[in-house]
Amino acid sequence: MGLFTKKRKDAIWIRPKDTIQAIVPYIMKSRCEAEVSCHVDMDITELVKYVDKKNEEDLGYKLTYFHALMACFAKTVYSREALNRFVKDKRLYQRKKLLFAFIAKNKLSDDGEERIISLDIKNNDNIMTVSKRASVDVFNVRHEGSNNM
């Protein structure tokens, strides 16, 4: 692939749908200019009940709130695919995958070795499949030193 090609292995080049999308890469030239943050209070009472109920079952792994949040974020991004786009060289791209990266420690201590885990979440994944795959990857990193990244 050449230096100024539109082809990428991780994304598909898309044409901007309107003038605003076309000029944004020229206005916001760096990633920092595109940062967005918000504060949202959510009632997670039902989520807490669900996680507690599932963890009473013998799943073979522990369902966590982090797993639930990853699954929720994934469903949101898959329902709003524009959230999984980026700009490179003033071109707009749609990512081919949805990857969540997080850190797992070999030991839960301040000086425990850290390893990055990258979880590829598919559109048809649900809270249980996300939880199982994340748990397996964390186990593999802690016990084998690898998660087949």
Please give the average per-residue pLDDT across 59-86, as a whole number: 94
Residue-number span of the structural domain to which 20 is assigned: 11-144
Please give the pLDDT value at position 12.
93
Residue 6's closest CA among 94, 91, 85, 95?
91
Does residue 3 lie within any of the structural domains? no
DSSP 109: S
Please give the pLDDT value at position 70.
96
Does residue 4 lie within any of the structural domains? no
Please give the pLDDT value at position 3.
56
Does residue 112 lie within any of the structural domains? yes
Please give the average per-residue pLDDT across 99-104, as a whole number: 93
Does residue 40 lie within any of the structural domains? yes
Record the pTM.
0.79
Report the CATH number at residue 24: 3.30.559.10
Length of the chain: 149
How many domains is the chain partitioned into structurally? 1
Does residue 125 lie within any of the structural domains? yes
pLDDT at 1 over 70: no
Does residue 83 lie within any of the structural domains? yes
Does residue 98 lie within any of the structural domains? yes
User: Cα separation of 2 and 49, whole Å?
Assistant: 53
Longest distance between any two alpha carbons in the chain, whole Å: 54
Does residue 95 lie within any of the structural domains? yes
Q: What's the mean pLDDT when you consider all of the chain?
A: 87
